[in-house]
Structure formats: C-alpha cells, structure tokens
Amino acid sequence: AGTLYVVATPIGNLADISARAREVLAGVDAICAEDTRHTRQLLQALGIDRPLVALHEHNEDAAAAKLVERLRAGERLALVSDAGTPLVSDPGYRFVRAARAAGMKVSPLPGACAAIAALSVAGLPSDRFCFEGFLPAKAAARRERLAALVGEPRTLVFYESAHRIGEALADLIAVFGGEREAVLARELTKLFETVLGDSLAELAARVAADPDQRRGEFVLVVRGNHDDADARLREGRRLYTKLCEHLK
Ligand code: SAM
C-alpha cells in the first residue's frame, strides 16, 4: 500500500521549508493541494515539478475517495495546504481520516504552523494552551463563542484576518474585559513581522491608531483566566445572561 505524507509548508518565509519536505514533495506521485495555482508557485520556487490534484473544502469527500484508491494501488501522495500545517484551520481532515480508515500509512512532515510560531514568541504560559482557530464571522456568534471561553484558564490562540482584527479585539474587550493581557503576532516570518504584547484595550488602541497594524495575517494569543473557579463561573453566567438578553 502507498503512503500519504502530510507536509507542512512555510507561512511566509520560503526558507522555512524543511529539507525532508523538499525531498518528499519531489518524490511523490502527486501532490494534493488546497489551491493548485498557489502550490504550483511554491513548487516552482523549490524547483519541483510533480502533478497536482485539487483537494479543498468543497470537493474533499469525493476527491478523498479517489485518492484513497490511488494509495491502495501503492502510490505515494503528499497533502499540502496554502500555508503552514495542513488540517490546522485548513482542509485535509476528511482525507486523512479516509486514508487511515482504509489502513493506509499516513506520515507527518512537521514544519511551520502560525499558532505554534506565535505561541513560541508570545511569552504567555504555554505548557497548556487552547487553539480556537478562527472566531465566527458573525458578531452574535462570535460573542457567544467568547462568552463560552471567558473562564478558560489555558492560554487561548486565535487566528484572525486583516478585515476582522478590529472587530475581534472589540468583542474580546467586551467579553473578557480590556485588562486581559494578549499578544498580537502579525506577518510572522515575513518582512513586516510584528509581535505586540499589551492589554487587550491597549492592543485595540494601537491597531486602531495605525493602519499598518491592520494589514496582513494575525495570530492573537490571549492569557487565560486565572481567577478562582467560583468567580469564573459567576462571571461566565453573568455575561451569558447579559448576552442572551442582548440577543433577544
Ligand atoms: N494551516 C495554517 C497554519 O498551520 O498556521 C493556518 C491556515 S489558516 C487558513 C490562515 C490563518 O493563519 C491566517 O488568517 C492567520 O490567522 C494565520 N497565519 C498564517 N500565516 C501567518 C503569518 N505568517 N503570521 C501570522 N498569522 C498567520
């Protein structure tokens, strides 16, 4: 039987591709990619020419079934996403699941991941953390998600896009309070990399004051809630009640 390699690619700096990732990508029968045009560019930059197969959110189940047949036939396939580690806020979960269910070997090629990169420079407790990915796009759902996290004692890691960073910070302040410590990691490994650590209120003010701080890609790392458990529960209930009233 074949092997499915799950290959991390850079999150900005091309030099972050691992030697093993290059070797595997150059040697597989095909590379399954979220966006084939995007991955074609990466492969060109690496001097690699392998066939590409599209595997994205909208065709994943159908594509996975065909790809598992190719693995059964003994092919070696790689799975990549547009940036960083596949399956981390990226497609691939269904394909990996199908390949494993079929008894195929699935092997990771670890590398860049924006959440881990941000956590590694945030200077917030990192022995335990909670990866929350993207918050919901709609305001009501976003606040509801945050209300459920207000008492979480572990460090929280969120992904955010440029056009929603202001709103996300405003909602975090509304639900967690402006005093909560956080780190905003922007454009990691790229030319305009910035890592700002401050209270949520200060971070929101800095982002509002400087349009440059609203450009690019963001990871927001937020200190967990270390209040005593009872206070946490009370605060969670209070906010939830307030939110429900607000949503009526
Ligand atoms: N699979 C990727 C990973 O391993 O990090 C994440 C893919 S997700 C669709 C894209 C989001 O990751 C962006 O909106 C941003 O929140 C975060 N991200 C990706 N690259 C980044 C970078 N260079 N700096 C900061 N955040 C980044």
pLDDT at 108: 98
Q: How far, in Å, CA of 166 to CA of 178, rounded? A: 14
**84 confidence band (pLDDT: 50, 70, 90):** very high
Long-range Cβ pairs for the range 199-204 (8 Å, 24+) = 200/169, 200/172, 200/173, 200/176, 201/173, 203/169, 204/166, 204/169, 204/170, 204/173, 204/178
How many angstroms separate the alpha carbon of residue 114 from the centre of ligand 1? Answer: 5
Closest ligand 1 atom, residue 86 Cα? 1
How many angstroms separate the alpha carbon of residue 229 from the centre of ligand 1? Answer: 32
pLDDT at 37: 97
How many angstroms separate the alpha carbon of residue 134 from the centre of ligand 1? Answer: 10
pLDDT, tens digit, for every residue of 194-205?
999 999 999 999
pLDDT at 58 over 80: yes
pLDDT at 68 over 90: yes
Q: How many helices (H) and strands (E) does the chain have?
A: 9, 10
Closest ligand 1 atom, residue 88 Cα? 1
Q: Which two tokens stand for residue 165?
A: 């960073």
* H helix runs in 86-193, sequence order: 93-101, 114-122, 139-149, 165-176
Cβ(217) to ligand 1 under 6 A?
Answer: yes
How many angstroms separate the alpha carbon of residue 204 from the centre of ligand 1? Answer: 20
Cβ(161) to ligand 1 under 6 A?
Answer: yes
pLDDT at 27: 98
Q: How far, in Å, CA of 220 to CA of 158, rounded? A: 5
ipTM of the complex: 0.99
pLDDT at 228: 61
Cβ(194) to ligand 1 under 6 A?
Answer: no
Cβ(221) to ligand 1 under 6 A?
Answer: no
- In this prediction the pTM is 0.91
pLDDT at 235 over 80: no
Q: How far, in Å, CA of 95 to CA of 54, rounded? A: 12
Q: Which two tokens stand for residue 35?
A: 């966006």
Mutate to test the pocket of ligand 1, among 7, 16, 39, 218 (most ligand atoms within 8 A of CB): 218
Q: How far, in Å, CA of 70 to CA of 31, rounded? A: 12
pLDDT at 134: 98
Q: How far, in Å, CA of 163 to CA of 28, rounded? A: 37
